Amino acid sequence: MPQDVHADPVRVADHDLEDLVATVTRLVTDSRKHGQRIACLEEPEALLAESKASTLTPSPWAASSLSAGATPSFFILALDGAAYANELAALSEWVHHLLLPVYGREISTGRPWCGQWTEHPEAVARLHGLWLAWQQLTDAEAGPSGPSTWHRDHLDPVWLQLRSPDGPFGACTTSAGRPAHRLLPAPETAV
């Protein structure tokens, strides 16, 4: 005769409940993102069909990645329209809630930063690549040395380029108290 097993309900202190809810919410969000990425990798044709159905036009730089049934690029410069805006919004969340609070350091002439970094194409491209590497190398499948590899191979070189006095923010903010923003002109192209 099978026994009727009823577990007692789990009791969580009120002060721990918010942390638990935040953790579960983050895990669900991460799980959905991973599911979407896996679906994209398993079914590139479905992703292409979805992209065409939503009438998003890939940027000119993405044209080669969409030929011959290839998987479209995840890189932000290969996106356009709503896809670009959505990816930039997600990147901004990561930059403002993780990257800058942990690695931002002081703003100075030796380490400039621009609060309007999303208007600097080079910064967007470098930060997006950094974020993609972070997603891959902080995943459990990357192993225990993944985060160290991310710091050494990705964060340090990108941060040196972005925060260099002659980097993309060289003409922008040099003091947190006096924000400034100026885009440097692109080099002239030979005709």
Question: How many Å apart are CA 41 and CA 71, to the nearest integer?
Answer: 8
C-alpha to C-alpha distance for 153 and 34, rounded to whole angstroms: 23
- Name which of 179, 188, 93 is nearest 131 in CA terms: 93
- Phi (first) and psi of residue 18, to 5 degrees: -60, -40
Cα angle 20, 25, 29 (rounded to 5 degrees) comes to 150
Greater confidence (55 vs 25) lies with: 25
| pLDDT tens sequence across 52-65 | 333 333 344 333 33
User: What is residue 179's predicted lDDT score, i.e. its pLDDT?
Assistant: 72
Q: Write out the DSSP string of 125-153.
A: HHHHHHHHHHHHHTSGGG-TTHHHHHIII
Is-contact 146 139, C-beta < 8 A?
Answer: yes
Q: What is the pLDDT of residue 50?
A: 41
Kindly report, residue by residue over 141-187, the tens digit of the pLDDT: 999 999 999 999 999 999 999 999 999 998 886 666 777 788 877 77
State the Cα angle at 102 between 100 and 107, rounded to 5°. 50
pLDDT, position 54? 35
pLDDT given for residue 107 in this prediction: 85
